[in-house]
Structure 1
């Protein structure tokens, strides 16, 4: 009978904990998948519009490495969202780097 009480106690303690962890993982997973879908759709749209242009424009865009520019742009967006999410998760606000002259800063 002792094992029944211990098992019941473990279910009472671990049940809500496991549910909370699964909710957190599920929310993060859904957010990550949704964000990747949005970024992928944006990239596909840009590349498809680039492919619909004429052959001369395609050659110019190829020489300008427009596809690399698009990838860098979307990587910057993803990084910005990631950093904003980390700041929200840690509940930390960014410190202001620049201060107007005349306050507590040293004038040059």
Structure 2
């Protein structure tokens, strides 16, 4: 890793939404299918569910915004079309730049 790697920030695609009652599990399966289509620049994905509800947040990490856009393939678009009717209302979508990342430090057991 060189100095330039430390200057590069990841980007996140964040979607906040609520599904129709009982549709979260179906949406989760489609989400997993969509994420499996990602290749270049994909750094990881999280799907969070508010306990006891059909509300959730998707956070997908990308190397760059260009990589994120390049991964919106035809297969991805088809999966998204299947998912949209499951939402109670259109989700809120935002792209963020990751500007601070703190990870736990390894500790030695004595």
Whose Rg is larger? 1
Higher strand proportion (structure 1 or 2): 2
Q: TM-score, normalised by structure 2?
A: 0.28
Higher normalized helix content (fraction of residues): 1
Please report the TM-score for the alignment, with normalisation by the length of structure 1.
Answer: 0.28
